[in-house]
Amino acid sequence: MNKNPLWKYLLLGAVLVTGFLFALPNIFGDDQAVQISARDGELPAGIEREVAATLEQAGIATPEFRTENGQLLALFQNSDDQIKARDAIDRTLNETSRRFNIAMNLVSAAPEWVRNIAKPMYLGLDLRGGVHFLMEVDMASAISSAEERFISEWKTLAREARVRGAAIQHRDGSLVARFREVAQRDQMLEIYGRDNRDLDMRTREEGEFAFIEADLTEEAEQAERTSSIQQNIITLRNRVNELGVAEPIIQQQGLERIVVQLPGIQDPGRAREILGATATLEYRLVFGTPGDWIAAGNGGVVPPAAKLYYERDTGSAILLQRDIIVTGDQIKDASAGIDQQSGSPAVFVNLDNQGARQMQTVTEDNVGNLMAVVYIENLVEYREVDGERIRETKRVEEVINSATIRDVLSHRFQTTGLAMTEATDLALLLRSGALKAPIEIVEERTVGPSLGRDNIRQGFNSALAGLAVVLAFMAFYYRVFGIIAGVALVVNLVLIIAVLSLLQATLTLPGIAGIVLTTGMAVDANVLIFERIREELRSGSTIQASISAGYDKAFVTIADANVTTLIAAVVLFSMGTGPIKGFAITLCIGILTSMFTAIFGTRALVNAIYGGKRVQSLAI
């Protein structure tokens, strides 16, 4: 009686070995590294020698090199060498063009044979250190931009209907079309209303003019808000990938905010610049002659079809057509480099199919005319008003380049007129996609690596303390059976860490709390079993029958208790965010592993010690 077949022992042994191997990488900690990856996806031959020579010239000791997932990692002993090495490598490899992504990171210090088997679990922001950003999306600008997109279409429809003198613009938060006659207005109202169900249109007369005013409907506004949040999250995730951050957290908070957490990031200033930047490009045809530009710049009337800008280098006024040829969101790829003819920094642009068709159509009809490149950036400024700090958003639009169209342009061309740093950052932003709506960083928190190490140490010590107290109590109260339960508890902790590593889950401080809670809960099943065995012994059952009844009769109660807790943990994970998810994931895993170790594991050990033997008494 109470004998296990061989397959159960083999299964238990396989689980223990697998769990140990997957938990093993977490013992070795992290190395500080400079991560080098090629923008075209493949590192050139000899890159390691070039990096080693660069570090030697900079007076930095030659590090250990490692290649993982197509990336070259240079490992350092301290953060000072890591920062110096990053700067030196970036200057050398990206001197003439931005061919490589250079980022600081933390990588596993486990030996290669361990890394080939398993990877360590990720550590969250509160354990590893890093930065936390809370960003707010400017929904008013998003809705305004959505309404402005109708301007070009309305102008085209007016020309096709041969309605002369129509003036269409976005003014005071609404799309406004002005006509000379009421009949013209009514004609265009019918045309505009055919396919524009997203617009709520109304009419009015003022003086000698008739007007159509339009705003997005409530449904269209809500759709635009949702789209802006989702597109900005995608764009931010692309930008984070450019920074080389492992396991970032980018998620929506509320209706208009986005949370970005970057564990392990060691250059928060750079992260802030890239994530919060809103720079993009617009390509427009130049309007009129230099005389018209000067007159407009001196306070003259700007023609309805034109828009007044100023050139960055000279500050001179220039008129551009209101119709945009292509914008930044139609740029599929971009890279920074040096213009071979002028030797100045340049951004090499590759348009998507729609943008290429538009560019080709416009340049075919305008060979010999001027085309300008507008650099657009939204800057946040603060000023003191009556002792209160007021935030203002300033939109900067300046012409960085204007040149004669010499040939028909299509998918690929280049833009000059920027400093090298601007060209590099702009290329990164264009590659990752334009933000659909401006965002502002309203909160920033930095968690230093020292605080992360303190959290890890305190969490580790709390887990050990809880484990030690539980083991001591179980050994004192249940003797040999208590020691068996203690062994199962240690194995349970190893399995929790192994599953977290296998799933590549992120361990946070609340996650450690979940592990500590599981440590206390894991022995509940054994307490029920052991007390049931004691009851059977007091009722006069034999030792073997008492052991069998203790496990069999307590199983239903144990299963019910754990299933109800598991349901609560699943609800927490599915509906919670941030720290709640971290707590719920370790609680879920801990419940499942404790069921295995407390019932299957301890019974196997008890049967190995007492099963099928004539035993006079039990140490329980």
Contact 124, 506 (CB under 8 A): yes
How many C-alpha atoms does 511 have within 13 Å on its Cβ side? 25
pTM score, whole prediction: 0.61
What's the confidence (pLDDT) of residue 19?
A: 92
Sorted by sequence, the CB contacts under 8 Å of residue 444 that are 6+ apart come out as 131, 132, 133, 134, 268, 272
Q: Choose among 65, 112, 111, 68: nearest CA to 89.
A: 65
pLDDT less than 50: residues of the chain:
none
- Measured in residues, the chain has a length of 620
Q: Domain spans of the chain? A: 6-25+456-610, 31-109, 140-217, 221-446
d(CA 82, CA 103): 10
What's the confidence (pLDDT) of residue 57?
A: 87
Torsion sign across C-alpha atoms 550, 551, 552, 556: positive
Contact 483, 472 (CB under 8 A): no
Give, in words, the CATH class of 6-25+456-610: mainly alpha
Contact 138, 438 (CB under 8 A): yes
* Other beta carbons less than 10 A from residue 309's beta carbon: 22
What's the confidence (pLDDT) of residue 244?
A: 59
Q: Which fold has domain 140-217?
A: Alpha-Beta Plaits (3.30.70)
What's the confidence (pLDDT) of residue 383?
A: 65
d(CA 84, CA 81): 5
Tell me if the domain spanning 31-109 has CATH number 1.10.357.10. Answer: no
User: Strand, helix or coil at 161?
Assistant: coil
What's the confidence (pLDDT) of residue 20?
A: 93
Q: Choose among 202, 148, 136, 200: nearest CA to 173.
A: 148
What's the confidence (pLDDT) of residue 319?
A: 92
Longest dimension (CA), the chain: 112
What's the confidence (pLDDT) of residue 112?
A: 84
Q: Which fold has domain 221-446?
A: Gyrase A; domain 2 (3.30.1360)
pLDDT tens figures, 307-366? 899 987 788 899 998 888 887 777 777 777 787 777 777 778 788 888 888 888 888 888
What's the confidence (pLDDT) of residue 243?
A: 63
Torsion sign across C-alpha atoms 235, 241, 245, 251: positive
Intrachain domains 31-109 and 140-217 with the same fold: yes
What's the confidence (pLDDT) of residue 139?
A: 87
